[in-house]
Amino acid sequence: MQKLYLPYKLLSQIPVKHICKSIVVGSITQTTLKHSFNSWRSYHGFLANAHLRNQSKKFIDHVLFMRSQLQRRGYQVHRYNTPRYNWRSSIPTADNVVLGLISANVAVFMLWRYLDTSFMRKHFMISVENVRNGRVHTMITSAFSHIDVGHLLSNMIGLYFFGSSIGRYLGPEFLLKLYLAGALGGSIFYLVQHAFMSPISKGSGMWYEDPKKVEGLGASGAVNAILLLDIFLFPTKVIYLWLVIPVPAFLVGAFIIGTDLKRMTEKDSRVSGAGHLGGAAVAVLAWARIRRGRF
The span from the CA of 132 to the CA of 257, in Å, is 29
Q: Which of 127, 145, 165, 220 is catalytic?
A: 220
Q: How many CB atoms lie within 10 A of CB 161?
A: 16
The answer to whether 56 is a known catalytic residue is: no
Q: Which of 146, 151, 194, 276 is catalytic?
A: 276
Residues near 193 by Cβ (< 8 Å), separated by ≥ 6?
211, 264, 272, 274
The span from the CA of 247 to the CA of 73, in Å, is 45
**Is 262 strand, coil or helix?**
helix
Task: Please give, one letter per residue, the 3-state secondary structure of 190-215.
Answer: HHHHHHHCCCEEECCCCEEECHHHCE
The answer to whether 151 is a known catalytic residue is: no
**Helix residue ranges per DSSP H, 49-196:** 50-72, 94-114, 117-123, 128-132, 138-141, 149-170, 172-196
Q: CA-CA distances (angstroms) from residue 223 to 26, 35, 61, 151, 192?
A: 49, 69, 53, 12, 20
Catalytic residues: 220, 276
